[in-house]
C-alpha cells in the first residue's frame, strides 16, 4: 500500500513542480536531504528516507515552506544536530520544526496516512518523546492554517492535489487536528 501511495505522491509532486520549479522527489535515501541543482545535476532534488511516506511528506513540507533563497542552499541551509541534543538545542529544533510538521500532518490527512510528531532525538533523557508544548504548537499552527492564515502557495497547491487524488475534500477541516491525534 505504501508503495502505491508513494508512487502517487511522487507523480503529483512531479506534475505540479518538476517543470515549474525544476525539482524532483527521490526515494530510497539513507537520510533525507535537499540538494539544489548543480552543474552535475540539472534538477533540485528532495531525497526522502527509504520508502517512507512520512519522510516524503515531511521533506515536501520543508520544500513548500522554503523561500527562493533557501531553495538555493543544501538542506535549505538548516543546521542539524544528531541525537543527544541538549534541552536548548531541542527547543531550537522544535521551533524550527513546528511549521514543517504541521504541514506534514495536513498532507498526511489529505492522503489518508498516519501522522506522528517527531522530536527526532532518540537519545534524549525522556526517550525522545515530543514535548507537550511542541505538540500543542503543531496543533495551533494547523488550526491557524485551517481557519484563518493562508497556507504557503506551494503547500496549498500540493494539499489540494493530494486531497483530490486521495478523495479527501475535508483535509482543511480542523476536526482532524486534535492534540490527541499527534501520536
- Strands annotated E in the chain: 23-29, 33-35, 44-49
- Residues present in the chain in total: 183
pLDDT of residue 80: 64
Q: 110-162, pLDDT tens digit by residue?
A: 999 999 888 765 455 555 677 788 889 999 999 999 998 899 999 999 999 99
Give the dihedral of Cα atoms 118, 122, 128, 134; nearest 10 deg: -30
Rounded to whole angstroms, the Cα distance separating 24 from 89 reads 31
User: Using only C-alpha atoms, what is the Rg of the chain?
Assistant: 16
Please tell me the pTM assigned to this model. Answer: 0.90
pLDDT attached to residue 67: 92
CA distance 16 to 157: 8
The confidence score (pLDDT) of residue 77 equals 83
Buried (b) or exposed (e) across 129-144, using 16+ Cβ within 10 A? ebbeebbebbbebbee
DSSP β-bridge partners for residue 2: none
What is the model's pLDDT at position 62?
Answer: 95
Find, among 97, 148, 145, the residue nearest to 121 by Cα.
97
Q: What pLDDT, on a 0 to 100 scale, did the predictor assign at position 130?
A: 73
Indicate if the alpha-carbon torsion angle 29, 44, 2, 108 is positive or negative: positive
The C-alpha cell that represents 95 in the structure block: 521551533
Low-confidence stretches of the chain (pLDDT < 50) are: 122
Amino acid at each position: 500500500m505504501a508503495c502505491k501511495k508513494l508512487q502517487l505522491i511522487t507523480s503529483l509532486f512531479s506534475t505540479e513542480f518538476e517543470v515549474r520549479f525544476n525539482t524532483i522527489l527521490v526515494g530510497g535515501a539513507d537520510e533525507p536531504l535537499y540538494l539544489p541543482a548543480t552543474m552535475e545535476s540539472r534538477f533540485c532534488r528532495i531525497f526522502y528516507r527509504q520508502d517512507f511516506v512520512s519522510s516524503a511528506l515531511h521533506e515536501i513540507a520543508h520544500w513548500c515552506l522554503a523561500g527562493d533563497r533557501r531553495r538555493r542552499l543544501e538542506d535549505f541551509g538548516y543546521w542539524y544536530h544528531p541525537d543527544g541534543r541538549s534541552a536548548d538545542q531541542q527547543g531550537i529544533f522544535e521551533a524550527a520544526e513546528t511549521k514543517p510538521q504541521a504541514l506534514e500532518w495536513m498532507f498526511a490527512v489529505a492522503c489518508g496516512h498516519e501522522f506522528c510528531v517527531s522530536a527526532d532525538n532518540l537519545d534524549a533523557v525522556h526517550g525522545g518523546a515530543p514535548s507537550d508544548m511542541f505538540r500543542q504548537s503543531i496543533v495551533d499552527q494547523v488550526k491557524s492554517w485551517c481557519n484563518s492564515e493562508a497556507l504557503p502557495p506551494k503547500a496549498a497547491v500540493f494539499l489540494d492535489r493530494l486531497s483530490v487524488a486521495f478523495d479527501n475534500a475535508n483535509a482543511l477541516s480542523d476536526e482532524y487536528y486534535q492534540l490527541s491525534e499527534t501520536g
